[in-house]
A and B are shown apart, each in its own frame.
Chain A
Amino acid sequence: MVERKKVVVVACAGMDKPLGSVTRASVFKVVEDLRPNNVELVCLPPLLAGVGSYSELISNLPVITVDGCAERCATKLIVKNSGKIRGRIFVPDSTKKHNLLPESASCLGLNGEKLAEIIAGEIASIVDRLIQGYDRIG
């Protein structure tokens, strides 16, 4: 049985690009600081490698995907696994919108940290909207 009033967040967290590190940092801020009681963080590799049991979660709870590059692995793979995507963040758009770039994959720097905070806030807003949707449905 899946717990209600929860939202799944899936981040690409790609190793090879700085924006992958931004996705990772932003979802941690949501899960650990901003909305710890309302978010289930789903790790992408086990889902893809078929070694985790996340299919129930992503098919029963609304999913927010956070992608770090144009490959959009998180979004593609949630779609492929029949997940219900209800919110999407594309980090390259956020860098342009806020004119903030991380220093590197291993060190986000001040701008990268700021970008991660902004994105975390955006994710939290989507979480709130989705939770309100639960309330409306009852």
Chain B
Amino acid sequence: MALIKEKVGIVSCSGEEIPEGTISRIATRLVLEKLRPYETVTICLPLFLAGGEGERTFAKLFPTITLDGCEKRCAEIGTSKYSGKPFATIVITDILKQCPVVNLKSRDEPSVDEFKFAEKVAKEIAKKVDEALGRQEDTNQK
């Protein structure tokens, strides 16, 4: 099945158990609201996994980027299982390994450093969005 390259679906873990889930949530909202607002939509992971037909159909037709907070990779596993292989997969803990000074602590009220880290993750997602849409560089808005 050919993918429609107009929009990209971000399937984000919204995990409540660990701070990485909060980072994934913030990063996704930054992409949706600031970095790539016209090119991205979010797919509600609980609804997607619960059998939401709209969510699953969208993820079959459009490229998806999964964003997972931890190694359980719920978003990636769920997307692969119900709609097909994601265009790209991002795991927060992998990015965290590149930033050893960042110490994630809060699930509820992220610190300035945690928010900066979320911005870094958001930029990684935006890069993958551009790749999914066949863009070489950011020719888009901020």
The count of residues in chain A whose C-beta lies closer than 8 Å to any C-beta of chain B is 31
Would A73 and B46 count as touching, CB distance under 8 A? yes
A44 in the interface, Cβ–Cβ < 8 Å? Answer: yes
Number of A-B contacts (CB under 8 A): 90
The answer for the CA separation of A45 and B43 in the assembled complex, in Å, is 13
Asked if B37 is at the interface (CB within 8 A of a chain A CB), the reply is no
Q: Which residue of A lies closest to B21 (CB)?
A: A43
- Cα distance A12–B33 when bound, in Å? 21
Query: Which of A19-27, A92-100, A127-135 lies on the face that meets chain B?
Result: A19-27
Please report B residues at the A interface, Cβ cutoff 8 Å: 12-17, 21, 25-26, 28-29, 33, 42-47, 49-50, 52, 72-75, 77-78, 81, 107-108
Beyond A15-B25, A25-B108, A29-B108, 10 additional pairs, beta carbon < 8 A = A14-B44, A14-B46, A28-B107, A43-B15, A48-B74, A71-B47, A71-B50, A73-B46, A73-B49, A106-B33
